Amino acid sequence: MFNFSYQNATRIVFGKDQISELAHLVPKDKKVLLIYGGGSIKRNGVYQQVVNALAGVSFVEFAGVEPNPAFETLMRATTLVKEQGIDYILAVGGGSVIDGAKFVAAAAVFNGDPWDILAKGAKVTTAVPLGCVLTLPATGSESNGNSVVTRYETQQKLAFSSELVFPQFAILDPTVTYSLPPKQVANGVVDAFVHVMEQYLTYPVNAPVQDRFAEGLLQTLIEEGPKALAEPENYDVRANVMWAATMALNGLIGQGVPQDWATHMIGHEITALYGLDHAQTLAIVLPALMQQQRATKGAKLLQYGQRVWQLQHQDQERLIDEAISHTRQFFERMGVPTRLADYGIKADAVDKLVDKLVQHKMIKLGEHRDITPEVSRSILQRAL
């Protein structure tokens, strides 16, 4: 196990009817920005529950944070925070809204051009405190310090990370996910699954607690994901998916172990060029990356096949083949196709995507930094 330093101070308030806890969680003496996305929270009743719970709290609303939140949109929210003297942010939505709120929290009190936080990795030294109500289990943003923001005018999708933008609290009420479109449910399960894999499928460092936690989350997503599609109002299923997605990227399972975020990096380029959903790109890249990297990831691929899929072949290569094919089938069963061709993307895309990776300096990816542009090209060819 590697050395690590880990803190996660987000309070998780989990369960039915917990949005009313906002009355105790949001400080009464603060002026609050209530930030959210499209109109779904108005249709499904979440908005009204939030407003009811904020009785007695002074708040201003900012609506319209889009999926893959736009720098331009968030800068408008930042201006609002400054103009209105807002000193607390409440994000209500999925990962995009929460990611966006984190950027606003940092940008509003940043000394300089907030773009530098994303483009130059300028250090965040203070931030407006924030809390959140999660409506879509997927990204883990509700209890981590990560934020991804897109600047559409320059086609840049950039990230920053800071302990100062961990939400102080996250309310997770599984019932609010009942009304999600099946596609978003499926995307969320795939996203969470791949988050776990990127902290797990590397090489063994004798870290059995982390391995078994990761395997437990994968097994849970495999069991519960299809049920969430089949029985949208099964509370336990929704609760298990929600808790697994949070645990998948709250940092815990990745402590002390190597990580490989190449799937996300390659996937980001597919979204940027072809507009696919984030999770769709992950479902395309991961099986191809597993196949391409089967030698360096061999020990963990065997462990994954044996423990997560209960495969028992004597022939190790065959076991790895089946582990990869089970992974692909799981994504397909969730309704997320796993080939570029399934989305109408043809072989000429490979060069374009590799060029973008080079342009964005994504030239040494993976736990061994051995996923060069040529390796990425092979991965993409395997994904056609």
Nearer to a second copy, 103 or 213 (CB): 213
Residue 153, judged by CB atoms within 10 A of its CB (0-12, 13-18, 19+), counts as exposed
What is the rounded distance in angstroms from the CA atom of residue 226 to the CA atom of residue 330? 9
- Candidates 6-14, 276-284, 329-337, 342-350 — which segment interacts with a second copy by CB under 8 A? 6-14
Q: Which of residues 18-77 bind a second copy (CB under 8 A)?
A: 18, 21
Does 353 interact with a second copy (rule: CB under 8 A)?
no
* 172: CB partners within 8 A, 6+ apart: 12, 13, 14, 15, 18, 134, 137, 142, 242, 243, 246
Nearer to a second copy, 33 or 221 (CB): 221
Specify the 3-state DSSP secondary structure of 87: coil
Pick the binder of a second copy from 76, 212, 318, 369 (CB under 8 A): 212
Instruction: Please report which helix (H) or strand (E) contains residue 284, including its range.
Output: helix 278-292
C-alpha torsion sign, points 199, 337, 237, 23: positive
Q: For a second copy, what does the binding mask look like between residues 129 and 168, x meaning CB under 8 A? A: ----------------------------------------
Tell me the residue length of the chain.
384
Does 1 interact with a second copy (rule: CB under 8 A)?
yes
Task: Determine the Cα angle at 369 with ends 366 and 375, to 5°.
Answer: 75
- Candidates 43-51, 79-87, 216-224, 265-273 — which segment interacts with a second copy by CB under 8 A? 216-224
What is the rounded distance in angstroms from the CA atom of residue 184 to the CA atom of residue 174? 14
Instruction: Please report which helix (H) or strand (E) contains residue 58, including its range.
Output: strand 58-62
Nearer to a second copy, 14 or 178 (CB): 14
Does 310 interact with a second copy (rule: CB under 8 A)?
no
Size of the site for a second copy (CB under 8 A): 41
Pick the binder of a second copy from 36, 47, 213, 309 (CB under 8 A): 213
Does 9 interact with a second copy (rule: CB under 8 A)?
yes
CB of 215 to a second copy, least distance (A): 7
CB of 192 to a second copy, least distance (A): 11
- Burial code of 84-123, b = ≥16 C-beta within 10 A, e = fewer? eebbbbbbbbbbbbbbbbbbbbbbbbbeeebbebbeeebe
Residues 216, 219, 220, 222: what is their CA dihedral angle, to the nearest 10 degrees?
160
Check: CB of residue 246 under 8 Å from CB of residue 15: no
Pick the binder of a second copy from 64, 67, 226, 256 (CB under 8 A): 256
| Ordered DSSP codes for 338-384 | -SGGGGT--TTHHHHHHHHHHHTT--SBSTTS-B-HHHHHHHHHHT-
Does 373 interact with a second copy (rule: CB under 8 A)?
no
Does 232 interact with a second copy (rule: CB under 8 A)?
no
CB of 212 to a second copy, least distance (A): 3
Nearer to a second copy, 186 or 192 (CB): 192
Does 223 interact with a second copy (rule: CB under 8 A)?
yes
CB of 107 to a second copy, least distance (A): 25
Q: Maximum CA pair distance of the chain?
A: 67
Does 298 interact with a second copy (rule: CB under 8 A)?
no
Does 216 interact with a second copy (rule: CB under 8 A)?
yes
- Candidates 41-49, 153-161, 233-241, 336-344 — which segment interacts with a second copy by CB under 8 A? 233-241
Binding site for a second copy (CB under 8 A): 1-16, 18, 21, 169, 206-209, 211-213, 215-217, 219-220, 223-224, 236, 239-240, 243-244, 247, 255-256
